[in-house]
Amino acid sequence: MSTVTPTTMDDKPKATTLSLDTPTASASAPSTAEIVFETADLSVYYSLFRAVRDVNLDVRQGQITALIGPSGCGKSTVLRSFNRMNDLIPGARVEGTLRYRGVDLYDPKVDPVEVRRRIGMVFQKPNPFPKSIFDNVAYGPRIAGVKKKSELSDIVEASLQRAALWEEVKDRLSASATGMSGGQQQRLCIARAIASNPDVLLMDEPCSALDPIATARIEELMAELKHDYTIMIVTHNMQQAARVSDRTAFFTAELDPKTDQRTGLLVEYDATTTIFSNPADQRTENYITGRFG
């Protein structure tokens, strides 16, 4: 499949040039691909605290979009607002619009449950259910109404195959999921998300709790998965964003003079190659070249 050249951590890119082996898909990511998400002046509040403001971006089908930036600038908050996960936090609300395939995601008629069945999520720390591997992956289809054992088995096998986990666990599907290594658990969580046949996959720092080898495997996986799913990923690791994503959004946090709070905001959003080789904003360039963050 696509080749990925890992760049070492201390390989700080020089001022404007970066030698990358970009994933082939990015070259062919046309700006004519369909728009999956569209935001307009999106702000997310936790009660009175504005966590992030003025987010304007569009996510296109078949691409991997990365959200990067230093800690505390609202990247995860923005990501979670894409599948209404912020609803779980009391006091969380949204201003501005967020459209999913033309539909206002925060329309009062919209059921978050439906949203989440189409927009799946993989979390930072792998969180398999304390059930068997089979039951973990079958959970999504089951609540979607698939009852027949043969159908479920097919779905489970297919999901595990796509998550590159099948060969390792095919003999012990009834073993407890919590007995696996971290990397395996995260791939299981990916398989679990895939099993519901979502449209979009949101990944919130999926590799930050994993070792480099597991990380590399998941990055490989992402490159394969983007053919079928639109993927958005939040990552602290710039090099990872450079490796896997087609488009990158850079966030930062600034002191809002009106409210005296540190609020996140989107600084720049463009093709990954542009962000990393020729960023338009000085703040982006500072971050990329390691002057801060």
Q: Which of 220, 228, 254, 281 binds other proteins (CB under 8 A)?
A: 228
- Give, for 64, the enclosing helix (H) or strand (E): strand 64-68
Closer residue to other proteins, CB minimum distance, 68 or 200: 200
Please provide residue 160's backbone torsions phi and psi, each rounded to the nearest 5 degrees.
-65, -35
Binding mask 29-68 for other proteins (x = CB under 8 A): -----x----------------------------------
Closer residue to other proteins, CB minimum distance, 48 or 113: 113
Stretch near other proteins under the rule CB under 8 A, chosen from 8-16, 17-25, 112-120, 264-272: 112-120
* Amino acid, single-letter form, for residue 290: G
Q: Where are the alpha helices (DSSP H) in 52-209?
A: 75-81, 112-118, 133-143, 149-162, 166-169, 182-195
Stretch near other proteins under the rule CB under 8 A, chosen from 10-18, 102-110, 253-261, 263-271: 102-110
Q: Which of 69, 140, 206, 264 binds other proteins (CB under 8 A)?
A: 140
- Closest to 19 (Cα-Cα) out of 243, 249, 282: 243
Residues 278 and 276: their CA atoms lie apart, in Å, by 6
Q: Which of 199, 220, 254, 281 binds other proteins (CB under 8 A)?
A: 199
DSSP letter for each residue of 186-238: HHHHHHHHHHT--SEEEEESTTTTS-HHHHHHHHHHHHHHTTTSEEEEE-S-H
| Smallest gap from residue 36 Cβ to other proteins (A) | 9
Closer residue to other proteins, CB minimum distance, 115 or 238: 115
Binding mask 143-162 for other proteins (x = CB under 8 A): xx-x----x--xx--x---x
